[in-house]
Amino acid sequence: MDIADLSLAILHHFLVFSLAGLLAAELVLVRPGLSGTNLSLLGRIDATYGAVAAAVIAIGICRVVFGLKGWEYYVTNHAFWGKMAAFVIVGLLSLPPTVRIIRWRRSGTDRVPDSEIMAVRFWLKSEALFLALVLVFAAAMARGFGS
């Protein structure tokens, strides 16, 4: 039994579920007709998404360093590196939506063009796909696959 390991695991789960919830909220908001208060709400949600992702990385690193298995277990585990690669891809896929959202808010537009909405929805859905892959690798690495 280790309280530090348990606390980090709980925090890690809270954060990754929050990340998924925020991504779902973005997909709900990014629809044709987006404007006004929903656009500012989207901006705040996207900023929170970035902050939560940074916290996921910080707590994830703490789990690697201070977790029960020790960092040696993870650095030689292929599922761990698969998870890191999928997570980096999620991060890269989140850049175009963030850039677009900032532009939409700065332009003070009344209504975002539908073509841009559909493009951002594509990036968000791709993120969701790779986030699911992160979970697959997470479950595998926790059970010794890839060692």
Which residue in 84, 100, 92, 67 sits closest to 134, CA to CA?
84
Which residue in 70, 73, 62 sits closest to 8, CA to CA?
62
The 10 Å CB-count burial string (b at 16+, else e) for 14-39 is ebbebbbebbebbeebbeeebeeeeb
| Residues 6 or more apart in contact with residue 108 via CB below 8 angstroms | none
Considering only the stretches 26-34, 40-48, 100-108, 135-143, report the one whose residues sit in contact with ligand HEM under the rule CB under 6 A: 135-143
Considering only the stretches 38-46, 58-66, 98-106, 115-123, report the one whose residues sit in contact with ligand HEM under the rule CB under 6 A: 58-66
Site for ligand HEM in 5-34 (CB under 6 A): 12, 16, 19
State yes or no: residue 52 binds ligand HEM (CB under 6 A). no
State yes or no: residue 124 binds ligand HEM (CB under 6 A). no
State yes or no: residue 4 binds ligand HEM (CB under 6 A). no
State yes or no: residue 79 binds ligand HEM (CB under 6 A). no
Considering only the stretches 31-39, 55-63, 101-109, 111-119, report the one whose residues sit in contact with ligand HEM under the rule CB under 6 A: 55-63
Binding site for ligand HEM (CB under 6 A): 12, 16, 19, 56-57, 60-61, 63-64, 67, 69, 74, 87, 131, 134-135, 138-139, 141-142
